[in-house]
Chain A
Amino acid sequence: MSIIARNITKTFGAYTALNDVSLDVPEGKLVALLGPSGSGKTTLLRIIAGLEFSNPGSGRIDFHGTDVTDIPAGKRGVGFVFQHYALFRHMTVAENIAFGLTVQPRRERQSTEKIQARVKELLKLIQLDDLGARYPAQLSGGQRQRVALARALAVQPKVLLLDEPFGALDARVRKELRRWLRHFQREIGITTVFVTHDQEEALELADQVVVMNNAKIEQVGTPQEVYDQPASPFVIEFLGNVNRFAALGHPLPGAGPDVIYVRPHDVDIQRHYEGEHGVRVRVQHVFSAGNYGRVALVRLDNGDTVDAELSRVRLTELGLAAGDEAFVVFRHIRLFPSGAFAERDVADGDSTPALVDAGKGI
């Protein structure tokens, strides 16, 4: 079931949570709403769910071509998983999962045997076959998360909505559950939207990432698109680490200096450099533990710090130590005009020389 949200505006008193936001979620896709807290991502999810309604007169929500704007959550056919699960403490796991089936109007309600069979099936799906008689208080965080998911799925929703689904879990469980959710979503092919502030989670899990900031959508695209072709400085800064420099040269009248972004993994360090695009730096610190080698450097020309990420093999080859002098070359940079011209089309430099040719030294 596809979801279309059009021109959604939502204010809470003087505070604007969503400012004329539109979003398309294609059928069967897994979509991440990514943004910092206060960006409006949870509000958008809740409006899609029908737990919240957009400002009167604004906006429209369609599920598969049907207008559901004024239909409350219980009748929209959505499964909603809450950040803190909201499992009913006084019910067993099985009773929790069965809840949605047992509150259906008497005419539509399935027989007790059928409900029990369905609960059993769901318990198997979430790999908690033997824990149906337990109470939520007796489960671990990851288990509770899966019970919440099973409870939402019991009523066979057309759309699955998850609010910060892995927020309250420790790193290892989070990773496992993420993989499990991905696999599971593919298998049943349910249109799924989840909210997260963790860029790694969004990039790893989603078919499509919706980057939100300040009550607006900044960019929509596949993980690769938003990472490699960020549409705004916000997106590039929010998605992973990045070095930020002021560009030299002559900015357009009335604007501040343009801003250049370089990902740490696009910074190459060399001991000796003969070309004309190298920047002289001093090594401040070398972090050699972890998957990558990371080096903190200071530019000798303007004192800016530069973070570089390189393979551990390369790091060993270079044999850098704090205090050494070296050169860095930026393999790939991205330039955003600043200030008044922020809405101008993005200039995009593929390599250092191109920029130098354009008259803007780094």
Chain B
Amino acid sequence: MSRSHRSVIPGFGLSLGLTITYLSLIVLLPLSAAFIKTSGLTWEEFKTAVFSPRVLASYRISFLASLAAASLNCVFGLVVAWVLVRYPFPGRRVVDALVDLPFALPTAVAGIALTALYAPNGWIGQLFEPYGIKIAFTEIGIFIALTFIGLPFVVRTLQPIIEELEPEFEEASASLGANRWQTISRVIFPQLLPALITGFAMAFARALGEYGSVVFISGNMPMRTEITPLLIITKLEQYDYAGATAIAVVMLIASFALLLIINLLQKWSRRHHAV
């Protein structure tokens, strides 16, 4: 950095160095370890480890449940964020604090609580039991747990954006003759979309890796309700380290690809912010 462009805050070089070292130690190194460990397998071994029917079934449930949970969170997270920003009501601060609970709660506690609620003899589960609908120990249970832990990501990314969204925009739209639906779909929603995509991506990523809250409620039936993180743990317990990391690598690449796509989507939806 040249002397003529000195920033107010000193130590740019030092802090950049620190950032890179830190990221390498904390993020990059463990990730590459997964790749290195996996490389100990032959191609055939790798294929059996990651494409066996049981593992494939776990990818399916993990990705589908995470996608569904993140999508549902987008809908209700948007509503929650909107209400919390726009409508002053008694107890708003308490409700606002509640949103963070899934962040703060140990995931195992969440898992046990949800299982207790949704088990066939639980408060909510018993309401559905007579109709033959099981929630806990099925895909629906996984979906509920993942929705629970993903909600704060959507709400917290949307809140500041909604706060910035002056009611003037709605008034401008209305004064130009737009009806409510047109105002929502053409004026408000497009301005929230980038943040919504970010929230979706974060909720989705979190759901993919979630373990603690799911294992209790899912029942862990092979081929049906076994999530990928659980399979990794199972492999580790059998001392199959290479097999475990092989699955981890697949998850890693898949998540990375998905996040990349989401980022591109976001860049596209944000194009107008470029100056």
Contacts and interface: CB of A to CB of B under 8 A. Distances in A.
A90 B176 contact: no
B191 A74 contact: no
Contacts of A86: 166, 168-169, 171-172
Interface stretch (A99-107, A171-179, A189-197, A324-332): A99-107
Contact of B175 (A51, A89, A138): A51
Interface stretch (A75-83, A199-207, A280-288): A75-83
Contacts of A151: 172, 176
Nearest to B165: A89
Contact of A74 (B166, B177, B190): B177
Contact of B178 (A50, A80, A103, A152): A103
Is chain B's interface secondary structure helix, strand, loop, or mixed overall? Answer: helix
A89 B272 contact: yes
Contacts of A73: 171, 174-175
Contacts of A82: 168, 171-172
Interface string A145-181: 0000001101100000000000000000000000000
Interface residues of A, number: 29
B182 interface: yes
- Interface range for B: 20 to 34
A74 B176 contact: yes
Interface string B154-174: 000000000000101101111
A88 interface: yes
B187 interface: yes
Given A90-B191, A135-B272, A138-B275, A74 B178 contact: yes
B86 interface: no
B178 A99 contact: yes
Given A86-B166, A86-B168, A74 B186 contact: no
B238 interface: no
B42 interface: no
Contacts of A138: 275
Contacts of B179: 74, 103
Most chain A beta carbons < 10 A, residue from B173, B177, B186: B177
Q: Which of B169, B175, B179, B182 has the largest count of A CB atoms less than 10 A from its CB?
A: B175
A29 to B, nearest CB: 21
Interface string A91-118: 1100000011001100000000000000
A104 B175 contact: no
A321 interface: no
Contacts of A154: 176
A244 interface: no
A92 B274 CA distance: 12
A90 B191 CA distance: 7
A75 B177 contact: yes
Contact of A100 (B169, B177, B190, B272): B177
Given A74-B177, A151-B176, A84 B168 contact: yes
Given A86-B166, A86-B172, A88-B169, A137 B177 contact: no
Nearest to A51: B171
A49 interface: yes
B177 A104 contact: yes
A72 interface: yes
A82 B182 CA distance: 20
Contacts of B186: 99, 103
A88 B175 contact: no
26 contacts: A49-B175, A50-B175, A51-B171, A51-B174, A74-B176, A74-B178, A80-B172, A84-B166, A86-B169, A86-B172, A88-B172, A88-B190, A88-B191, A89-B191, A89-B273, A90-B190, A100-B176, A103-B182, A103-B186, A135-B272, A135-B274, A137-B274, A137-B275, A152-B175, A154-B176, A155-B176
The 6 closest A-B pairs by CB, nearest first: A100-B176, A86-B172, A86-B168, A103-B178, A73-B175, A74-B177
